[in-house]
Amino acid sequence: MILVRDLAIDAGARRLISDVSLSLQAGDKVGLVGPNGAGKTTLMKVLAGGDPAEGTVTRAGTIGYLSQEAALRQLEDEQVTALERILTARSIGAMERRMEALRHAMERAEGAERDRLITRFSRLEDEFTVAGGYLAIAEAKRFAASLGIGSGELDQLVVTMSGGQRRRVELARILFAETETLLLDEPTNHLDIDAKAWLMGFLGTYRGGLLVISHDLPLLDEAITSVLSVEDGHVEPFRGNYSYFLAEREARRQQRLRQRRHQDADIARLEEGIRRFKGTTEKMAKRARSWETRVARLKEQRVDTGKRAARVMVRFPQPPPSGRTALTAHGLAKAYGDNVVFVDVDVDVERGDRLIIIGLNGAGKTTLLRILAGMETADLGEVRLGHATTLGYYAQEHDQIVPEDTVLDHMRAASELRDETLRTLLGHFLLADKVDQEAGTLSGGEKTKLALAQVVVAAPNVLLLDEPTNNLDPQAKEALLAALHQYQGTLILVSHDTRFVDALDPDRVIVMPEGSAAYFDESMLELVALA
């Protein structure tokens, strides 16, 4: 249970959200919606345990919190397997590791030492069984499989996994914990269509309190029963799912517009009377003064119709000329320890190609894109850029965002254009009021916009984009799609967003981990959905 009273949240020196009071009880299933940068992620962080600028947050019971990024960064340094990470949710992972260490020790020991170890192992195994250890391991494996984590991946070190794999491991851990409240920030990122369907079913039967941020509209329609809308610094509650919220929000907006028109008409009528009677008789002048009081009161009580939502504008500049061949790669191979990601992959990209890399989670899509972009080195093989080829790389985990640097600093690093021009471009991405803000304080959607703005201002002739629609609200996603349609350069894309890929209509595909190339057709959208 979470109870909020008179909450205010700041982002740096800026008041982000104010006057929030709400409760999240068992059985509540709430969608937290609003445009990128409205404060959804920051609000959820505060509910999960952060400190508000004002107000109180009372928490009772256990809380499971899936953040957009923080947990993934923590996982990068953990030398544990995926299964061990999931088991930490119920505090049996450490017991299982001690048992495994004793098994290895017993194999090497002899005589009395071996007998002593067997006794210790037997005692620990009894404790493990009483704690439901073996049953819990089987259950953890079922959670993992439902979220698309294969049995082979469970023994893989988390540090060697892709961002998408780590994200699914963390989601499995949080759901496996059986907490009384769930706070989930974009839980369907990196899930294939089957895992999304399972998650919707799980959340539909979940009995605790649920608060979820998602741009996955089917999830918001199937899994929630109410909405909290965050916009212009305020939080407004709505009953019903996301589709009902959209209709009800528009109905409320129209009602406010009608009320405002009536108020404005009353004010105009009174002000006209004041102008007519102010210079006449004392009686009429007195009436005019009373009308002025009414006008002042009416203006104070004017209905706020809200600001018209600003729209993201994306436009890639004309790419510089280049040779006919954009890039080639031959005999690429990559492994992380014993985990072989792919071998003997060839890539040939011509100027103007629109190519998508597809494959199951963990098949090496992101790794291949990073190697082509020069961000990672292949174990074998080589990548060669064509004549005058310039690359623009967007990383799905925002790897190139430096948390301590300001938004404007990031743009300066990407281009030598004047600050005035860079500020204008940031305005197109709705970041004009955040130019002096540290990038680490941005929301996930705002970081995506900043990273895309860096790619745009660099004016490359080859774009390499890794899941660029993750964390973008629907309008920003449409703006990006329109810009890519108009882009005259070469495009290499990784995406699991079937609607986005279908609308983009790529020319060719590379299927990983085999690296086989083919022409794109609609039948391949099924594999995109499984990515």
Write out the residue range of the structural domain in which residue 98 sits: 80-178
Q: Do residues 387 and 451 both lie within one domain?
A: yes
Domain final position from 301, 316, 347: 301
- What's the confidence (pLDDT) of residue 266? 84
Distance CA 497, CA 390 (A): 26
Does 51 map to a domain?
no
Does 306 map to a domain?
no
Distance CA 142, CA 140 (A): 5
Q: Do residues 345 and 296 both lie within one domain?
A: no
**pLDDT tens digits for 287-296?**
777 878 888 8
Mean of pLDDT values over 212-224: 86
Q: Do residues 339 and 487 both lie within one domain?
A: yes
**pLDDT tens digits for 454-474?**
999 999 999 999 999 988 888
pLDDT at 354 over 90: yes
pTM: 0.76
CATH code, domain with 407: 3.40.50.300
HSE-CB for 323 with a 13 A CA cutoff: 11
The number of angstroms, rounded, from the C-alpha of 367 to the middle of its chain's C-alpha atoms is 20
Q: Do residues 256 and 388 both lie within one domain?
A: no
For the chain, what is the domain count? Answer: 3
Does 191 map to a domain?
no
Other Cβ atoms less than 10 A from the Cβ of 131: the count is 14
Q: Do residues 506 and 468 both lie within one domain?
A: yes
Alpha-carbon distances of 243 from 8, 130, 221, 222, 308, rounded to whole Å: 28, 47, 6, 10, 20
Q: Do residues 290 and 162 both lie within one domain?
A: no
Binning the chain into helix, strand and coil, the percentages to the nearest 5 are 45, 20, 30
pLDDT tier, 70 (very low <50, low <70, confident <90, very high otherwise): very low
Distance CA 353, CA 506 (A): 8
**pLDDT tens digits for 43-69?**
999 999 998 999 999 999 999 999 986
- What's the confidence (pLDDT) of residue 71? 46
Note whether 66 and 185 are within 8 A (CB): yes
Closest to 86 measured CA to CA, from 167, 128, 144:
144
Mean of pLDDT values over 419-425: 95
